[in-house]
Structure 1
């Protein structure tokens, strides 16, 4: 598993819109279609489709 990176401002806004606390999630992959995150403490990963 890749190491996650801290979210940018736009990514923080997206995570907030998805109902997540951006302080607990790291970004693994960010493409135009989806965003893949990993939880900072538990290591659980999730992928979300980006709303257009």
Structure 2
């Protein structure tokens, strides 16, 4: 899987809105129109989050 990058301010707000509390523990792998694909730094768990 591709390496993730630190989320921008707008991406962090979208993650918080989706219920992710600690946004510093998640990295953005893909930023698509309408959704973010994120991966957890430690566990490698992936999630799809709606994006503005």
Give the structure-2-normalised TM-score. Answer: 0.86
CA contact 2:16–2:23 (8 Å) conserved in 1: yes
Higher relative contact order (CA closer than 8 Å, sequence separation 6+): 2
Q: Which runs of 5+ in 2 are unaligned?
A: none
Q: Which runs of 5+ in 1 are unaligned?
A: none
Give the structure-1-normalised TM-score. Answer: 0.86
> Between Structure 1 and Structure 2, how many residues are aligned?
51
Which consecutive aligned stretches of 4+ in structure 1 deviate over 4 angstroms post-superposition? none
